[in-house]
Structure 1
Amino acid sequence: MASSVETLAAALAEDCLKAMKATGEDRLYVEVGHVLGASSQTLEEAFLTEVRVRLAERAARDFLIRRVKESKAARGD
């Protein structure tokens, strides 16, 4: 079972990523991290981890999609 900190951090990370997409501010999560750090370093660290994990997953998924497209194009599929 996830702790309160993990649950809150995950939900906030999802909301922040949506806000980043809506505003075009790709470093908004850093600012949110500063706000959190002023009152809870524990939540700040959990939040930043959640955001970084999601951003890394997106980057890896984009890489895989590109690689498959390149492979299909090279084979003439």
Structure 2
Amino acid sequence: MGVVEDLGDDLAQRTLAAMEEIGDDRFYFQVAKVIGASSPTLEEAFLTAMRVRLAAARGRKFLDDALKARRGGGPIPLPPPDGAGAAAV
């Protein structure tokens, strides 16, 4: 990755940890606003990293839930309909 992507991803990882500690799953919008005031390029890299990491977390949760259900003898859950559960970024 380039320096902008590296910085955006590092900040995304730190922001995800802060969101968990703060208890606000939308906190990253505030971070993006602060970044965007100085560097729209870094803001976009940060938001891309956030979207990718949030999507990966949702995917891992769905996979874990499906395996847990299957191992428990229950039906595998259906994925949400298109667009449902996606963060608005």
TM-score when normalising by structure 2: 0.80
What's the CA shift for 1:3?
1.0
Give 1:54 shift.
0.4
Structure 2 residue 70 is the aligned partner of structure 1 residue 71: yes
Which ranges of structure 2 fall in alignment gaps of 5 or more residues? 75-89
Return the alpha-carbon distance in structure 1 between the equivalents of residues 61 and 53 of structure 2. 12
1:46 aligned residue: 45
Q: CA–CA distance in 2 between the matches of 1:14 and 1:39? A: 20
CA RMSD, Structure 1 to Structure 2 (Å)? 1.0
Runs of 4 or more above 3 Å deviation: none
Letter in 1 for 2:49: E
Q: 1:19-49 CA deviation, whole Å, 9 max, x = no partner?
A: 0011101111111001111111100000000
TM-score, normalised relative to structure 1: 0.92
Q: Which has the higher contact order (CA 8 A, sep 6+)?
A: 1
Which structure carries more helix by proportion?
1
Q: Which amino acid aligns with 1:35?
A: V
